[in-house]
Amino acid sequence: MLRSVCAALLLFLTLVEALADGRVALVVGVSNYEHGGRLANTLNDANDVAATLKRLGFDVETLLDPNRSSLEAAVRRYGERSVNADVSLFYYSGHALEAAAHNWLLPNSARLANERDLRFEAVDLDTVQEQTDGYAKVSIIFLDACRDNPFARRLSRGRSFAPRGLARVDVGRGAFLVAFSTGPGEVAIDSIGAKRNSPFTAALLKYIETPGLEIRSLLTRVTKDVSDETKGMQRPWQNSSLEGDFYFLPPPVAPAASSAQSLVTLDSMFWDAIKLSNNPADYKAYLTRFPKGMFVELAQNHLAILGQITVPSPKLENSPQVPQPAAPISSPPTVSFPDRDEIVRMIERARALIAVGDILSARIVLRRAYERGDARAALELGGTYDPLILRRLKVTVRDSFADAVQAHDWYVKAAELGSVDAIYRIKELSLQNQ
């Protein structure tokens, strides 16, 4: 047990180490504004996101309560680390403003008397985007930054100032995703009651470590949780130019079926197809193909019984003679209603056998279905000989498989049983041979 746990832990650490080689992140949380009061949950949000991203293999730089110069320096380092990265992620929790169609991130030292101060006191979100656009393979920005802003009152007289929320962010041609905690021009809730995190960050943390959850599906769940938590007052928004899927934790890889498992599956499928047969050739075919199969004793028992009992089968005139499989083809009786479901299952088994390349076994199954009077079985049996059909099924056409004469005979049989498709197949076959 201990060895299994250690092995699983080693595998997880190896995966995280491999991911860390191409994942970088800058996480910023601002709470204690020197000229704007305090936000309750932003530091918790930043610390929790940073810890989670580290578990997901990101090389994380965490910045708490930075002034403008330290925030700019961290953004510059973030850009340098993002060159050739598989994914770069920027997370910001704090105050932000929109002015003149730009979104400004406010460090704790921000002192704003008018709009002109933004250029010197805040950091333009465009600057963050420029650091990764075209450099990282995938760029992600999470902004939990639309909180009710005390700086808004001081700038409300500005002609180009938006008093609520942030502006829509356009993404370039690269693989970019930007997610806001609420829609453009709306205000996000910092906290509800005594909860540790904001509604947006709490929902993000809830789903971000879910294996196999693609980022857009993740944000759909986040949106629902936030809308439910805030009773519809807050609804996250995103804009994306991602062309492929992105997973914070990739889906687990299912182990490939071993050759032994595949053989067992074929064994069972073959036996299911013949277990009700009264033809000794079917059981001999099973014993030849699966000499150590799970049903060897049953097959031998059936052969012993069939050796003592002669089972009559009706004949139709002009039945096609099929040399392979070797057993003669009996004419089909009229199909009774209880047989129809079984015939459908037999045809499905035959198709499954064809899909894995076992044409000979499929023919045996289809012949048993035909002997119950089914036109579709005769049609599909003809297809297992038809060179054109075999090519469509991407089956290698070999002498042991393809036989236009046998295909024609089976199509004729299917047509006699009422199959219109068989008539078209006969015409196609004739055109091939011209």
Predicted structure pTM score: 0.56
Residue 15 pLDDT? 46
Alpha-carbon distances, residue 78 vs 52, 87, 110, 131, 410 (angstroms): 18, 12, 21, 7, 70
Distance CA(286)–CA(290), nearest Å, equals 6
Strands 102-105, 96-99: pairing kind: antiparallel
**Cis omega before residue 314 (within 30°)?**
no
What angle is formed at CA 284 by the lines to CA 352 and CA 381, rounded to 5 degrees?
40
Residue 213 pLDDT? 92
Residue 167 pLDDT? 55
Distance CA(218)–CA(411), nearest Å, equals 53
User: 26 with 61: CB under 8 angstroms?
Assistant: yes
Distance of CA 344 to the CA centre of its chain: 31
What angle is formed at CA 159 by the lines to CA 155 and CA 163, rounded to 5 degrees?
45
Q: What is the block-wise mean pLDDT of the chain (434 residues), using blocks of 10 residues?
A: 46 45 91 88 95 95 96 96 95 88 89 86 91 88 76 56 58 79 72 82 95 93 92 88 89 60 66 77 83 84 68 42 43 54 83 80 86 87 85 60 84 81 78 66
Residue 155 pLDDT? 63
Amino acid identity of residue 102, one-letter, is H
Amino acid identity of residue 113, one-letter, is A
Q: b/e string for 237-263 if b means 16 or more Cβ within 10 A?
A: bbebebeeebebbeeeeeeeeeeeeee
User: 117 with 79: CB under 8 angstroms?
Assistant: no
**Please, is 186 exposed, middle or buried when counting C-beta atoms within 10 Å of its C-beta (0-12, 13-18, 19+)?**
middle
Residue 345 pLDDT? 83
